[in-house]
Copies of this chain bind each other. A is one copy, B any other.
Amino acid sequence: MRPQAFIFDVFGTVVDWRSGVARDVSRALPQVEPFAFAAAWRARYQPAMERVRAGGRPYVALDELHAEMLDETLAAFGARMTPPARAALATAWERLPAWPDAPDGLARLRTMAMIAPCSNGSIALMTRLARYAGLPWDCVLGADVARAYKPQPEVYLAAAAALRLAPGAVMMVAAHNDDLRAARAAGLMAGFIPRPQEHGPGQTADLSPDGPWDLVADDIADLAARVSLGVGR
């Protein structure tokens, strides 16, 4: 059955956060190794959300967490910035390049079904990123709509509910097997695409699908082609 909507993980799946963040870091902090800084900033992502998921902190948009994570990363690198420069760098996540196949692949997929991000990024962040990267979403779903963070089931369920679709009529697409496991457990379909360069050279995680996903494709353009042809794995 063809899904009526495809919802996407974004950081890593649709956009290349590593090179985008490193580019802004290299301009703002020429003294640090930009890819190491980007990786260290991103490494604080799951722990920061985990406090919210565990109930230790009320829901706060990822924009706030990104700013706090930046402060911690600056301290870890012994780097200093003026408050305006720090605030500007904190928004680097709004200016990430799309993986080359993403804009056209999404545009093609959109001719067949609704498409939306289901990211832990806020509506504000996803909206600005879509404008920057040329992502033709029909609407923006995700953490802000559920006021919770993936992989909590309510994020996937709130995305389907916002479209007034049964979870089983929606496919979650991600380059991360954990995201798909959680979406599947919530009743959604799951589509995997590998992004072997997400973490740069030497990546070991998520190089291939490790679950019985409904669809596996090489990238978003290939995913759109397979959906068009009715081809699954």
B126 contacts A139, CB within 8 Å? yes
* Residue A87, interface by CB 8 Å: no
Among the stretches A17-25, A130-138, A148-156, A177-185, the one at the interface with B is A130-138
Give residues of chain A (143-182) contacting chain B, Cβ–Cβ below 8 Å: 144-145, 162-165
A127 contacts B144, CB within 8 Å? no
* Residue A85, interface by CB 8 Å: no
* Residue A63, interface by CB 8 Å: yes
Minimum C-beta distance from A174 to chain B (A): 20
A-B contact pairs, 29 of them (CB 8 A): A61-B164, A63-B164, A114-B127, A114-B128, A114-B131, A116-B127, A122-B162, A122-B164, A123-B139, A123-B141, A123-B145, A123-B162, A123-B163, A124-B162, A124-B163, A124-B164, A124-B165, A126-B139, A127-B138, A127-B139, A127-B163, A130-B138, A130-B139, A131-B138, A137-B139, A139-B139, A139-B140, A140-B140, A145-B145
Q: How many copies does the complex hold?
A: 2
Which residues of B lie under 8 Å from residue A162 when comparing CB positions? 122-124, 144
Minimum C-beta distance from A167 to chain B (A): 14
As a 0/1 sequence over residues 108 to 123 of chain A, the CB contacts with chain B under 8 angstroms (1 = contact) are 0000001010000011
Distance of A123 Cα from B141 Cα, bound (Å) = 9
Distance of A130 Cα from B110 Cα, bound (Å) = 12
Which residues of B lie under 8 Å from residue A165 when comparing CB positions? 124
Sample of 17 further A-B pairs with CB below 8 A, known A114-B128, A123-B141, A124-B164: A63-B164, A114-B131, A116-B127, A122-B162, A122-B164, A123-B139, A123-B145, A123-B163, A126-B139, A127-B138, A127-B163, A130-B138, A137-B139, A139-B139, A139-B140, A140-B140, A144-B162
Distance of A123 Cα from B114 Cα, bound (Å) = 12
Distance of A165 Cα from B141 Cα, bound (Å) = 18
Distance of A137 Cα from B30 Cα, bound (Å) = 37
Distance of A139 Cα from B126 Cα, bound (Å) = 9
Quick one: which of A122, A130, A140, A165 has the most chain B CB within 10 A? Answer: A140
Quick one: which of A123, A162, A163 has the most chain B CB within 10 A? Answer: A123
